[in-house]
Structure 1
Amino acid sequence: MLNAEGEDIHMPTSSNLRIGQRLVRYRKQAGIDQADLAKAAGISQPTYSRLERGETQATLPHIYLIATALDVRPDAIIGRQDQEERVLCSARTDGGPCDMAAMKQRLLDYLEASSYLTEMGY
């Protein structure tokens, strides 16, 4: 089905929904509303809203424009599931959520330990 702007609108797919969830998360982290982000990205607000709801498939130009407006990498919006799972796993030791500062500290501790063990010949 096409909307008035000629865009294909369909039922949300799991992939579109995951991208939409990431868009919401990054937009809220930036402290910006949909209208301002759409304007900054050069797309219409209704189109952006449909992207967040997963009703429209994000094109590469959409992703690039939105990522640029949010100052994030396009692959952060697309999401690499294996990468996300590795980051989440490294951030937790007890199965619970972990804030970014704690995750960074754990990663730094790991790198320091790895360097030490390498120097010791292990």
Structure 2
Amino acid sequence: MNIFEPSKEEQIISLDEMFKAYCRMDPLSDAMEVNLLPLSQSDKWLSTAGILDMKKITTTDTGLCFFKFKKRAISFEEYLSYLEELATTKSLDLEAMKLKMQTSRKPLHPRDVKKKR
């Protein structure tokens, strides 16, 4: 079994929807109401997905790929290029990475927690 293969219980959410959810977790992107993802939120997503494990892939690896964009935060299209670069650099299966990211836990924004109460 592929380590990136989701179990039957895991829900597959579109990569775009997950990207937007992590953008909302960035205070600046959320305040500006833009879908731009900073490295810190990308690392949280990759960590939650079990990809950023500080062994095979480290924060140094993610930073080196991310800072090639020379921006604080990047768009979805740029993020797809970033993932491709990261997968190529670390010899990982890009599609398997994306699937793992789609089945990882979606972040819950603090405003959404208040609505549920």
**Quick check: TM above 0.5?**
no
Q: TM-score, normalised by structure 2?
A: 0.34
**By percentage of residues, which structure has more helix?**
1
Instruction: With the length of structure 1 as denominator, give the TM-score of the two structures.
Output: 0.33
Which has the larger Rg? Answer: 1
Q: Which has the higher contact order (CA 8 A, sep 6+)?
A: 2
